[in-house]
Amino acid sequence: MSSRAIRGRLLSFRQRPAGRDDIGAYSYVEDGLILVDADGRIAFSGTYDASKIPAGVAVDDHRPNLICAGFIDPHIHFVQMQVVGSYAANLLEWLNSYTFIEEQRFSDPEHGSRIASAFFDELIRQGTTTASAFCSVHPESVDAYFAEAMKRNMAMAGGKVMMDRECPEELRDSAERGYEESSDLIAKWHGKGRNSYVISPRFAITSSPAQLAVTRVLRDEHPDLLLQTHVNENRDEIKKAGELYPDYPTYLGIYADYGLLGPKSLMGHSIHYKPHELDMMRESGAVAVSCPTSNLFLGSGLYDLAQADRNGIRSAVATDIGGGTSYSMLRTMDEFYKVQQLKGGRLDPVSSFWFLTAGNAEALGMEADIGRIEAGKFADLVVLDARAVPSMAIKMERVERLEEELFMLQTLGDDRCIAETYVAGVPMKSALSL
Ligand code: GUN
Ligand code: ZN
């Protein structure tokens, strides 16, 4: 039984495009129809056909706007909403001067709930329907995050950061506490609603060898879970990790030795690799999660997508709020594009939209449920208006092809282009009290 019908231009990806003209990589329906079943999944998607719409089901008509699978942000810090735009010379100064101060406030459950509510409102405003978030060290922050995700029926991933050294006392757990709190949170939240728990050792600097060892135990006990961390983001960070783990010739080698590298590992930033680390990334099947606005803002470096592709390394693209400077995945993709320009690479706009949807879904291992407009997937959708502001409307007068429209959305677009965000078939953006 259909609970909703949605009409508009539909774009969905089958695979990563080989280039701008790879029309076999996606399906595009000029006048499309999506029928949503009572569970929020897509019952039908294809060419508009009024006879398919059951009696009594109203149609949300979004023509001439474009409908894609909802955007997916595979690396974001929900506890850093009030850190965004903090003036610092580099990553380590930024962490010590602002981030490690701000995250202390999440020992207060009320603060966590207030920020979680603002955070989810913002994701919806930006067309992001799934994210993988780092919470703070406090279990209360994870409770706030997943409780809010369940209220909105969103497919959200995340976990408590484990950190037991090189940070203020108030943010330290211990190897044992990190293990126990993570285990309890997994039992409490993983698989509840659409929630996925992510094992989250912050990075090797703030995790002692004992903590990385218990992280391995957690992994072995929960082989189906994702793991997220940071690596090779900044030259000083790499140097410090090397000083704290002097037996390891490479930063990535630390994680590999503790059994933390595999196809479910989301390696945030992944900018400055030594040749052997490229081999480790490829052989393990880990995902390099690039965070372009953050890397530019903190002066961390330029991610080389062509190098990753040449080496058979999986890539994903994320905001990294609050090192990142925009919640918008469109703005993020614009900066990712510019970074590839500086690296002498090419990134066509069709591939960009694959990253934003099916590509990032595959990175999270969630491709069975999200990332495509297809029968059986959740109706997590974004409606994109390429004429949302006068400057875009005037440019659109000269746009003839889908690829040009996508490129314009990426280059000039932001939350103003998000005409609607659907979560499991329910319109969420129009329901926000702005
Ligand atoms: N490395 C360790 N923690 C963080 C963080 O919060 N943000 C960024 N950008 N890098 C990190
Ligand atoms: Zn991060």
Q: Give the pLDDT mean for 379-401.
A: 98
What residues contact residue 332 under an 8 Å CB cut-off, 6+ apart? 73, 292, 293, 317, 318, 319, 324, 326
Q: Measure the CA angle with vertex 105, ends 100 and 106; round to 5°.
A: 100
Average pLDDT over residues 171-186: 98
* pLDDT at residue 19, as a whole number: 86
How far CA 287 is from CA of 123, 267, 313, 362, in Å, comes to 23, 6, 7, 10
What pLDDT does residue 418 have?
98
Q: How far apart are CA 157 and CA 198, in angstroms?
A: 6
With 80 as the cut, is the pLDDT of residue 1 above it?
A: no
**CA 1, CA 5: separation in Å to the nearest integer?**
11
What is the model's pLDDT at position 117? 98
Give me 355's structure tokens.
Answer: 């990253």
**CA 239/CA 227 separation, integer angstroms:** 23
Confirm if 355 and 72 have CB atoms less than 8 A apart: no
How many angstroms separate the CA atoms of 137 and 228, rounded? 14
Question: Residue 434 has what pLDDT?
Answer: 60
Cα–ligand 1 centroid distance for 150 (angstroms): 26
Q: What is the DSSP-derived secondary structure letter of residue 41?
A: B
Distance 229 CA to ligand 1 centre (A): 9
Please state the rounded mean pLDDT for residues 137-147.
Answer: 98
Q: Which domains does the chain have, with CATH numbers?
A: 2-70+371-427 (2.30.40.10), 71-327 (3.20.20.140)
Report whether residue 75 contacts ligand 1, using a CB cutoff of 6 Å.
Answer: no
Task: Say which ligand is closest to the CA of 292.
Answer: 1
Dump pLDDT digits (tens) for 247-304. 999 999 999 999 999 999 999 999 999 999 999 999 999 999 999 999 999 999 999 9
Q: How far is CA 116 from CA 103, 106, 161, 329, in A?
A: 13, 11, 16, 19
pLDDT at position 20: 85
Tokens 């950190």 label which residue?
163
What pLDDT score does 2 carry? 66
The pLDDT score that the predictor gives to residue 208 is: 98
The structure tokens listed for 245 are: 């783990």
Q: Is the CB of 8 under 6 A from ligand 1?
A: no
Q: Which of 200, 231, 233 to mutate to test the pocket of ligand 1 (most atoms within 8 A of CB)?
A: 233
Q: Whose CA is closest to atom 3 on ligand 1? A: 202
Backbone angles phi, psi at 333, to 5 degrees: -70, -35
Q: Is 233 in the pocket of ligand 1 (CB under 6 A)?
A: yes
- Region 78-85: mean pLDDT is 98
pLDDT tens sequence across 347-362: 999 999 999 999 999 9
Edge-first strand listing for the sheet containing 2-13:
42-47, 26-37, 2-13, 59-69, 381-384, 418-423, 426-427
327 confidence band (pLDDT: 50, 70, 90): very high
Nearest protein Cα to ligand 1, atom 9: 323
Mean pLDDT estimate for the chain: 97
User: Does residue 290 have its Cβ closer than 6 Å to ligand 1?
Assistant: no
pLDDT above 70 (res 70): yes
Q: Is 323 in the pocket of ligand 1 (CB under 6 A)?
A: yes
Q: Does 415 score more than 70 pLDDT?
A: yes
What is the average per-residue pLDDT within 308-332? 98
